[in-house]
Amino acid sequence: MGKIRVLIIDDSALIRKILTEVLSSSPDIEVVGAAADPLIAREMIKQLNPDVLTLDIEMPHMDGITFLSNLMRLRPTPVVMISTLTEHGAEATLNALALGAVDFIAKPKVDVVNTLNEYAEEIISKVIVAAQAKVGGVHDRMIKPKSSVVTTPEISEKHSVDVILKPTSTKTHIGPTNKIIALGASTGGTEAIKAVVKGFPADTPPILITQHLPAAFSESFVRHIDLATDMSACIPKHGQTVEPGNIYLSPGDRHMLVIREGGKYIIHLSDGLPVNRHKPAVDVLFRSVSQCAGANAIGVLLTGMGADGAVGMKEMHDAGAKTVIQDEQSSVVWGMPGAAFKLGCTDYMVSLEEIANKVLSLVKPGSVAKVN
């Protein structure tokens, strides 16, 4: 397999330079060009036929969203968006993901040089994964058959879930309580989550979601979730009681755990170390649910790069929970669900379109997902 051919589209000469240096440091990537605006990029795409684009959102002559929309209609190509850590940047990025962008890189408003260099390995990983993703609508994207579980360069400082929540040394009997649903996702997850929750009626048991997102994106994403479903979605406060009919999204800079007090589930937020290089991490949520809910829980793992959530899903499965993963064909990246599948801890593997019905059948036999 040859090198991944990347075209950088950004109006900032500094960003073009940094991204070129970062991506060129990988033996798997060749930066074939850099364009200062979409009109120049349009011609370069025809000439260079790149495998992946990095695309800035705010540019002269044509904004990144308009360019992306035209690109996906005329010449679908894997795209990694470059966005700012602002509310406007978050909203634009979520719209880009809805149009078919594979992933995004968030740049701060200050100290851009050091930040991008600090996250060089993550940037390289995202481009490598994007090159393996077919693009189109969320229902059409899939990983090419040559790679089932996606592997990416190893990034340093990988802590296990033990730094946040220790495993229980003995198996604790957990009596019946109300059902609770724990869901994790990463790359491709923002659209996959909306596709799942839109099928849930207002009286669905509570859903706790950990999606890998920066803190600046949380408020925008929870609004998107809330608009997509008859349930109510929020970013929870520490100590908040979990209630049916509600969706709780982990804040982008905290791990979300759930504990049991009597017959109630209570949300705890932790500002501890990243787990599997993520904060929030899916493994943290899943382990906490395995310890407090046992067989009363359903674990769901959607599309995502890496393996976060696989260990936690096994712990949920071992504690008696039913577990559901998104299948390879409908996943943007079959990393996280694929890792869980390899651990042998999945009860059901279904397409994205079937997940809502499968989950409802487990929590409320006879229930059928809404069709919008």
Q: Is residue 140 part of a domain?
A: no
Q: How far is CA 16 from the centre of its chain?
A: 26
Which of 116, 131, 146 is where one domain is finished?
A: 131
* Residues 195, 120 share a domain: no
The domain in which residue 32 lies consists of 4-131
Q: Which tokens is 55 given? A: 């695309």
Alpha carbon distance 225, 360 (integer Å): 18
* Residues 343, 216 share a domain: yes
* Residues 191, 70 share a domain: no
Q: Could you report the per-residue pLDDT of 136-153, keeping only the tens digit for each?
A: 644 344 333 333 444 444
* Range name among 150-164, 165-179, 252-266, 337-351 with the lowest pLDDT average: 150-164
Closest CA to 360 of 270, 231, 176, 242: 231
Q: Could you report the per-residue pLDDT of 200-219, keeping only the tens digit for each?
A: 999 999 999 999 999 999 99
Residue 268 bears catalytic tag? no
Residue 11 bears catalytic tag? no
* Residues 77, 22 share a domain: yes
Q: Is residue 144 part of a domain?
A: no
Residue 83 bears catalytic tag? no
* Residues 342, 216 share a domain: yes
What is the average pLDDT across 283-309?
A: 97
Which of 93, 111, 131 is where one domain is finished?
A: 131
* Model-wide pTM > 0.85: yes
* Residues 175, 225 share a domain: yes
How far from 323 is each of 13, 112, 250, 355, 359, CA to CA, in Å? 47, 40, 20, 11, 9
Which of 91, 109, 131 is where one domain is finished?
A: 131
What is the average pLDDT across 155-164?
A: 77
* Residues 213, 348 share a domain: yes
Residue 312's identity, in one-letter code, is G
Choosing from 83, 186, 270, 290, the catalytic residue is 186
Q: Could you report the per-residue pLDDT of 312-354, keeping only the tens digit for each?
A: 999 999 999 999 999 999 999 999 999 999 999 999 999 999 9
Helix axes 87-99, 215-228, angle to 10 degrees: 50
Q: Is residue 11 part of a domain?
A: yes
Q: How far is CA 101 from the centre of its chain?
A: 13
Q: Could you report the per-residue pLDDT of 23-76, keeping only the tens digit for each?
A: 999 999 999 999 999 999 999 999 999 999 999 998 888 999 999 999 999 999
The CATH number linked to 268 is 3.40.50.180
Number of other residues whose CB lies within 10 A of the CB of residue 25: 12
Choosing from 103, 125, 212, 317, the catalytic residue is 212
Q: Could you report the per-residue pLDDT of 222-257, keeping only the tens digit for each?
A: 999 999 999 999 999 999 999 999 999 999 999 999
Domain count, the chain: 2
